[in-house]
Amino acid sequence: MVLLMLIWFMNERLVNNLFSSLRTFGFLFGYLPVSLSKLITIKKQKNMITTEQYDRLVHRVPQLWSSGILQRTKSTFRFQGEENLPSGPVLFISNHEGNFDIPSLLAYIPKPFGFISKIEVKKLPIISQWMEEMNCVFLDRSNRKSSYQSIEDTVNILKKGHSILIFPEGTRSKGGEVGDFKSGFVRIAKMANVPIVPIAIYGTSNIMEKNNNKICPANVQISVLPTYTVENIAHNEPSKIIEDLHTIIAKEIDFMSSAIK
């Protein structure tokens, strides 16, 4: 009897996970054609409003789209640290757990931002058009020249008043320890003369990566941490900046982990 109940529970869980995956990805791709007309309407206003107003206008649709995706995973989210968001362009840096990091941050960070993405994403219709309006940067990791160009492109975007998000680990940790940070983000912040805003995100790998890529509910926490100012960036060596920010984010992740457990 116990065995039968266990088999029933496992089968029900598999069915629920399957439906959750279908709901999530169905909305992810189903919303795109609907968003195209909104994109066309928004682009018509580009030269009629300020950079900040346009960024907020563009940000609203990906924010709603991301929120819809997250709702269909039936996950719970806790966001804190909004008071740490400064005005003006910033370089966001965050640890990178999984594929749901970007939707989670788009949904909960009220400050508009673009991000660095793999060049392959540029081939996706509609998505790539939105990303271009969000001031995302496309990086070809197989091409060293592209890496240098992406740094220059990111600096130019920041200098124009837009914010950018970077994952300094360069790859997903899938819920493991926060990996080593690559140094490129420090160079970008120095060249663009903008502050760095660290973000800690915990639990997104439980939505997908830890479930053989099936969608499951998870508890996700997002924390915007105190700004690393332009003055601190100017007066410290890159190695010190990297160490400071890695420690800040890793400590917050440890705290989040222990709080959930």
Q: For 42-57, write each residue's pLDDT tens digit.
A: 999 999 999 999 999 9
Give the CATH fold of the 14-260 domain: Glycerol-3-phosphate (1)-acyltransferase (3.40.1130)
- Note the pLDDT of residue 260: 67
**Rounded-to-integer distance, Cα 5 and Cα 241, Å:** 54
Model-wide pTM > 0.85: yes
Domain boundaries, the chain: 14-260
Please calculate the CA angle 211-141-190 and round it to the nearest 5 degrees.
105
Alpha helices by DSSP H, listed for 73-136, are 101-108, 127-133
- Residues of the chain above pLDDT 70, percent: 87
**Rounded-to-integer distance, Cα 170 and Cα 181, Å:** 8
Distances in Å between the Cα of 41 and the Cα atoms of 60, 61, 197 are 13, 12, 32
pLDDT at 261 over 80: no
Q: How many CB atoms lie within 10 A of CB 105?
A: 21
5-26 pLDDT per residue, tens: 333 333 434 444 544 565 565 6
